[in-house]
Structures are given as C-alpha cells and as structure tokens.
Amino acid sequence: MSGAVPGTVYLVGGGPGDPGLLTLRGAELVASADVILHDKLIPLEALADARADAAVIDVGKIGGGEQVPQEVTQELIVEHALAGRSVVRLKGGDPFVFGRGGEEAQACRARGIPFEVVPGITAGIAASAYAGIPVTQRRMASAVAFVTGHEDPEKPETQVDWPALAAFPGTLVFYMGVRRLGRIAEALIAGGRSADEPAAVVQQGTLPGQREVAGTLGTIAQVAADAGIRAPAVTIVGPVAGLADELAWRAAARPLAGTSIAVTRARAQASALAARLRALGAAVVEAPAIRIEPLAADVPDLGAYDLLCVTSPNGADQLLERVRDARALAGPVIAAIGPGTARALRAHGIEADVVPERAIAESLVEALREVPVTRALIARAEEARDVLPEALRERGAHVDVLALYRTVAEPLDDAARRAALGADYATFTSASSARFFHAAAGTFEGPRIVSIGPVTSEALEGLGRAPDVEAAEHTPDGLVAALIDDVLARRGG
C-alpha cells in the first residue's frame, strides 16, 4: 500500500434515461469527479457536464460489443480510488436495484475505500409512470414487487419462486427478459395468476424512443413480439396496468415524443431551442453549422442618431455588451427587427420603441414609415442584407451600418453529419445556418426541413431545397409551433 489517502467512490443512480430525472446530487458529483465509470443505460447528456480533464470510461461495452466483465469494472473502481481520485460509478436507474451496486460497495469496503450511494429513479417506477401506470393504487394494488426476468422459469436452477410470485398480492414489475416473456407469463398463469390480468410492456421508458404495448397476462408476450418490443423494457403485471389508457399523459404533454430533430444554429444559442424541443419530448441532435465571431467594432456616439435599428438577437447582445454607459441609449428611437430581437434587448433592460411582428427587414421598413429619421445607425451582422439601409437612405436619411459580428462555419464531424441527416427534421433559424449546414453536410437530403421564415426559406431554395415547413411567426417559438403542427398533421391527429 502506498499510504495515499484513497478517493471516495460514489455509486450514483443516473435514473431511467430522461436527463431531467438525474438527481441534483448525482449531477453535482458527475460535474466534480476525477473519474467517471458509466453504464450504457444512462442519460449521456449528463456526461456533458463532466470536467474537461475527467477520465470518462464506458464500462457498459467494449467497442460495440460485450459488456466489460463486472470484476474488471470493480478493479477499475478500486484502482482509481486507491490512487486518490474521486470516482463516480454512474449506473442506470438505481445502483442497488438490479445494478450490482451492492457488489461494488462490497469491493470498496473490502479495500477500505470510502463510498457514498446516491439513489436513482429506478426504471420499474419511471417507465411505468411515463406510460401512465401507477405501480400502487388504492384498492387496486397495495404492494409492488420488482422481479428479475433474467431467470428462465423452465430452468431447474431458477432462483425465483414462481408459484410464490404468482400468489403475490400486488403489482409485479419485471426487469430484463423481454425475450422470456412467454415463459414468464406461463409460469405465472400456472401458479394461479389470472390470464385476464392486465399487463403492459414499456420499452425505453422516459427516453425519446419510448414505446409501450398493453394486453393481458395471456396475450402480452405475443403483443410485445408482434410490436417488435426489445430491451431495455419493463413488464408490468397487475390491474394497475389497465389504467394506462386513462392516465397516459405523454402524448399530450410531449407532442414531439418519438421525433428526432437536428438543431443547426450556433452552439451558444442552440441550447434554449434544444431544451424546449427536449421538454416537448423530441430527441435533439445538435449539429451546429455556425458560430458567432464578434468583430472589433467601437460603438459610435449614439447621441448623434435619432434612430437605432437592431436586426438580430445576436446584434442586441453584441451591441449592449459594448455600451459602457446605458444613458448613451436614451437619445435615439430604438427599433428591433422582430419579437426575438426585442426580447434580447429587453434582457438588457431596453424596451424597443418599434417592433414589427414579422422579423424581416421589409416589415421593419414598413413599421418605420411614420417615424421621422435624419441619422440612423444599424447594428447588425457583417453579412446582413441591405434592404433596411437602402430604404432609409431613399428617404433621405444618413445611415451608418455597424457590423458587430460575423457568423462563421463550424465544421461538422462525420457522426454529427450522419445524425443530423438521419433525423426526422432539421431546423434552420437563419439563412447563414442553412448555407453553412449545406456547405458542411453537402446535402439536405433526409430530414424534413423547417425554416424560421421567408429569408431563411429563400436561402434554402437558393440551395435547391424548398423547406417542408415554414414558421408563421419568425421566432424560435414560432418554429417550434410550426414543427408540432407538422408532426401532428403527419400523424393524422
């Protein structure tokens, strides 16, 4: 023994898959660990917050193949801890429910390594809840049993007492073993459980790909096989399974469940849109095609202008980052190109005087018709269109253009390109994101194309691909609304 103080091992439950269902304590530990050893069935998004210098090791599989043997995983845990590192062992669901967390804790104890256990939401509860099935319910089920379906009831060495399980007065939730469902159901019926008892199988519970099927104990194996249900899935047996029809909530709350959507806007801005899409149930593919590069530009004396036009949310951010004294903005009338830019200004404490509903230059020109202008400053991107300055100059105004940033291409790696083109939808929130995505991906073939508005649509058409969907309101919210409409229309609902 080196005598070094061992690091602490944290056996952390990652929850069933929905990144929102990881506990705060779990997220905190992931963000601070020296080493993270994780399973396959964990919310991968959680790893994005790991320290840049943390060692993140996938012990769920080697290459695309087998699982790392349990002894090897335990050796890794012990080795890193004995070297004084803090180790997060991140497991799907709860570490102590069919997770071999107990064995890992024993391995730590045997070597004198301190450990902490962070419970997680186990799949049996979470997948059921996401399918509208309460595992207990007054007068229906006052007990619930979590059972491994790993054991073949027909094998003599089975450790599960099938007759006792059949007689269990409550809900049965089976983990693993979707392929053995037929034999499990037979064993339960042979043990006296009614073949008419409701049963349901939930695959990929809480994940964007969640699917569920319902039947009875007598039919469920066939129903699941016909639907092609595969692991990971839990099977719920008991009267509560029959409540799913009444209590299903996901389709209404999450209309984008089962839909994959590529977000091509710059990483810095993508997160709000991505979060909104995820909250609606979508699987989001982040494929940023552009990046905002601020330009070295000094803001002139704003008091010299009677009109200040801001033509994008980025323009608002870039401008106000550079304005040292807010009183400089007291003079000119302030016009935003649309509601999104007005919102960005508001976040900096500026209420725009003029905001057209449609965020395009033509609408702003129209909205400014009655506003007297002698000197105007336009704060914008380097590569913006010249509709607005030209229209104001035609009216006899002196116009200065202040280019605050440019958008530059962000290279797409192969995996991101494939994922984006394999998505159900690809979203474009600006003409430049369309152009740069096309340059990086070489095509728009694959996903349905969603455009935020006419200027972006025109850019898409220029690249040979008219959008399938165009937002009526040219904001990220408008784009999300149009996308939901399209998904529902195509579902025929």
Q: Could you list the active site residues? A: 39, 61, 176
Which among 36, 54, 52, 34 has a CA at the least distance from the CA of 44?
36
Q: Which amino acid, 235?
A: T
Q: 113 vs 207, which CB is nearer to ligand SAH? A: 207
* 3-class secondary structure per residue, the chain: CCCCCCCCEEEEECECCCHHHCCHHHHHHHHHCCEEEECCCCCHHHHHHCCCCCEEEECCCCCCCCCCCHHHHHHHHHHHHHCCCCEEEEECECCCCCCCHHHHHHHHHHCCCCEEEECCCCHHHHHHHHCCCCCCECCCECCEEEEECCCCCCCCCCCCCHHHHHCCCCEEEEECCHHHHHHHHHHHHHCCCCCCCEEEEEECCCCCCCEEEEEECCCHHHHHHHCCCCCCEEEEECHHHHHHHHHCCHHHHCCCCCCEEEECCCHHHHHHHHHHHHHCCCEEEECCCEEEEECCCCCCCHHHCCEEEECCHHHHHHHHHHCCCHHHHCCCEEEECCHHHHHHHHHCCCCCCECCCCCCHHHHHHHCCCCCCCEEEEEEECCCCCHHHHHHHHCCCEEEEEEEEEEEECCCCHHHHHHHHHCCEEEECCHHHHHHHHHHHCCCCCCEEEECCHHHHHHHHHCCCCCCEECCCCCHHHHHHHHHHHHHHHHCC
Residue nearest to ligand SAH (CB): 93
Question: Which residue, 183 or 265, is less far from ligand SAH as judged by CB?
Answer: 183
Q: Which residues bind ligand SAH (CB under 6 A)?
A: 16-17, 41, 91-94, 97-99, 122-123, 127, 175-176, 202, 204-207, 231-234
Q: Which of 383, 343, 374 has the alpha carbon at shortest distance from 359?
A: 343
Comparing CB distances to ligand SAH, the nearer of 233 and 377 is: 233
State the Cα–Cα distance between residues 430 and 149, nearest whole angstrom: 50
**C-beta separation of 111 from 82 below 8 A:** yes
> Shortest gap between Cβ of 206 and ligand SAH (angstroms)?
6
Q: How far is the CB of 169 from ligand SAH (least distance, A)?
A: 23
Residue 14 beta carbon to ligand SAH: minimum distance, rounded to whole angstroms: 9
CA distance linking residue 286 with residue 270, whole number of Å? 8
Of 124, 94, 96, 152, residue with least CA distance to 236: 124
CB of 369 to ligand SAH, least distance (A): 56
Complex with ligand SAH: residue 104 or 424, whichever CB lies closer: 104
* Nearest CB to ligand SAH, comparing residues 86 and 122: 122
* Shortest Å, Cβ 233 to ligand SAH: 5
Q: Closest CB to ligand SAH among 204 and 430?
A: 204
> Considering the complex, what minimum distance in angstroms separates the CB of residue 10 from ligand SAH?
15
Q: Cβ of residue 178: shortest distance to ligand SAH, in angstroms?
A: 7
The residue among 38 and 474 lying less far from ligand SAH, judged by its C-beta, is 38
**φ, ψ dihedrals at 68, nearest 5°:** -65, 130
User: In angstroms, what is the minimal distance from the CB of 239 to ligand SAH?
Assistant: 21
The smaller minimum CB distance to ligand SAH, of residues 127 and 452, is found at 127
CA distance 332 to 407: 27
- Shorter beta-carbon distance to ligand SAH: residue 212 or 410: 212
Q: How far is the CB of 261 from ligand SAH (least distance, A)?
A: 20
